[in-house]
Structure formats: C-alpha cells, structure tokens
Chains A and B, each alone.
Chain A
Amino acid sequence: MCDARCWSARSRPSACRCSCGGANHGRGYFAPYRGYPRRPKPPSVGDYFKSIGKSALTNAVIYGLSAAIPPLGAVAIPAYMAYNYSKLGYGLYKVYSEISAEGKVSANSMKQASESLGDFVTQGPADTIASAVVARATQDGLFEEMVKNTHVDEVVFAEMMRGSTSSALSAGAGELAKFAIVKAVGA
C-alpha cells in the first residue's frame, strides 16, 4: 500500500517497494493511484435532501414559518405589499388580459419566460400562461419597485408570481374570488 514514502520519494520508480510497483513513486502526495478506489461521487442535491440533508431542510422550513426574526428583505415584503398589492394586481391583470386577447401564448413569450426564470420545464396550460404573464410583467418592469423597496432579487418575485399564478389558474375560477383584502389604513 502506498504511503508518503512512496508518493514523495525522489528515487527512481524501479526502487519502489510498495504495492503500486512504482506507478505512484515520486508523483507527489496527492497523485492519484489507479489501484485505489476513487473518491466517491458527491451525492446529488435530491439524494442529499433525502438522507443527511433532510433534517437541515426540516429545520429551515420550520424556521421559515416560525416567529424567528426574519432577514431584512423578508420583513420588508409584507410592509410593501400592504400598500401596493393593488398596483401589482392591476399590472398582472393587465398583462393577463393582453395575453388572453392575443388568443394564445406565443413561442416568443415562452422563450422569454424560460430565459428569465431559469431552467424550468413547462408542465401544462396553467404553467404556460403563468410563465408568459410573468415574463411580460418582468419585461414591463412590474417588479422593479418591489425589488427596490425590499432588496429581494427580482427573479425570486418572478418565480413566486409564476408559481402562484399557475396554482390560481389550476384551482379554477372562483377559488380566490371569495376572499376580500383587508385594506391598510391610508391605502
């Protein structure tokens, strides 16, 4: 078996007396030796959260829902939304109406959606429409003010709007209509 005497040797490989037979002789301490098993491949993100990362995920979710003091941007979001949900809602509705008036979601808007939201995979009509709405809303700068006031990345708002719009479209008409919004004082 190789050790530092072999790896860091300065003599010729033929002088090697260990099991590598000179293959690793003098190659330096970190030289790979083909005779040993390679370092195990690191687990994928999915595998990690299935096993050792599951408790970290659980703790993070509980923290996310708990009364712990949230990061600055997270605190600023509801404060911003208390006065600006109407503006955002109107903007999104306007975009949605425009897309609906066009009759269908164009290939171009889908391309823009995938560019702005990363490597998401479209899953159905609700997701397709939601992606198109959010892509155009982003293009129109609808989330800029929110980003400026909360310092949360625009891509985060865009992704959350996409998922929420898709969920609302999937749930069907009337699901949200039963709710009224509590108006902030002075709003």
Chain B
Amino acid sequence: MDQNDFEIVSIIASRKAEFYVKIGEKLLASLPFFIDKKEARLRLRRATSELDNSLFISEEEKASKTINPALLVSQLKLNNQEILDWMVKAMTEG
C-alpha cells in the first residue's frame, strides 16, 4: 500500500466513524436496562470497522473513480441493504 491508499483508507475510516457515531447515538439509547451497553458498544464498533471498504464508496464515486472526503455518509447514497445485512450478522454472531 502506498500513501494514496492510506489517504483513501483514512477517508473511508472517517466515514465509518461518522456512521458509528450516528448509529451509536440511536441504538445505544434504545437498549433496555438488561443489555450490557459496554458489550453492545464494543460489538457495534467492531462490526462497523470491519465493514468492507467498498461499501463505503458510493456508486457515483466508483463510476467516476474519485473520492470526495468532504461528503457526509448521508450524501453518498450507499447500499443500505448490504450494510444492514452485514451489521445484523456481525451484531448477532457469537
């Protein structure tokens, strides 16, 4: 991997971090008292981080072969279903 790869990795990681902050705010607040919040947070963080990088690159970016670091996750129009499938799988395993 070269510097350009790591620049793109940094952008993708920042998108995942944004996604995690948003999802965490919503999900952790809704957990019932009997669920271990620390474990849920750890599991959520890991599930988000291990999402395939390509899922955080929009179809438009793939077509134009350019990545815009300033876009919000909500502006990317990502594949909701694939991300959801992964998150459910990762959160329920183990």
A2 to chain B, nearest CB (A): 25
Query: Of B6, B40, B49, which is within 8 A of A163 by CB?
Result: B49
Query: Of B17, B27, B52, B65, which is within 8 A of A77 by CB?
Result: B17
26 pairs from A and B in contact (CB 8 Å cutoff): A64-B22, A70-B22, A74-B18, A74-B72, A77-B21, A78-B69, A78-B70, A78-B71, A81-B14, A81-B70, A85-B69, A90-B3, A120-B46, A156-B21, A157-B13, A160-B17, A161-B9, A161-B10, A162-B49, A163-B49, A164-B53, A165-B6, A165-B13, A168-B1, A177-B5, A181-B68
DSSP class of A's interface residues: helix, strand, loop or mixed? Answer: helix
Residue ID in chain A nearest B86 by CB atoms: A61
A50 contacts the other chain (Cβ, under 8 Å)? Answer: yes
Instruction: Given the known inter-chain contacts A81-B10, A184-B69, please indicate yes or no for A64 contacting B51, CB distance below 8 A.
Output: no
What chain A residues lie within 8 Å of B94 (beta carbons)? 46
- Are the CB atoms of A81 and B69 closer together than 8 Å? yes
What chain B residues lie within 8 Å of A65 (beta carbons)? 19, 73-74, 78, 80, 83
A97 to chain B, nearest CB (A): 9
What chain A residues lie within 8 Å of B27 (beta carbons)? 56-57, 60
Query: Of B1, B18, B92, which is within 8 A of A96 by CB?
Result: B1
Query: What is the size, in residues, of chain A's interface with B at 8 Å between Cβ atoms?
Result: 72
B59 to chain A, nearest CB (A): 13
Interface size class of B (residues with CB under 8 A): 35 or more
DSSP class of B's interface residues: helix, strand, loop or mixed? Answer: helix
Instruction: Given the known inter-chain contacts A86-B7, A152-B21, A160-B16, please indicate yes or no for A63 contacting B26, CB distance below 8 A.
Output: yes
A102 contacts the other chain (Cβ, under 8 Å)? Answer: no
A66 to chain B, nearest CB (A): 6
- Are the CB atoms of B17 and A152 closer together than 8 Å? yes
- Are the CB atoms of A42 and B71 closer together than 8 Å? no
- Are the CB atoms of A179 and B91 closer together than 8 Å? no
Binding site for B on A (CB under 8 A): 42-43, 45-50, 53-54, 56-68, 70-71, 73-75, 77-82, 85-86, 88-90, 92-93, 96, 118-120, 146, 152, 155-157, 159-169, 171, 173, 175-182, 184
What chain B residues lie within 8 Å of A62 (beta carbons)? 80, 84
- Are the CB atoms of B22 and A71 closer together than 8 Å? yes
Residue ID in chain A nearest B25 by CB atoms: A71
Q: Whole-angstrom distance between the alpha carbons of A152 and B26 in the complex? A: 16
Given contacts A43-B35, A74-B73, 12 further A-B contacts (CB under 8 A): A53-B35, A57-B88, A64-B19, A64-B20, A65-B19, A74-B72, A79-B70, A93-B2, A152-B17, A164-B13, A164-B49, A165-B9
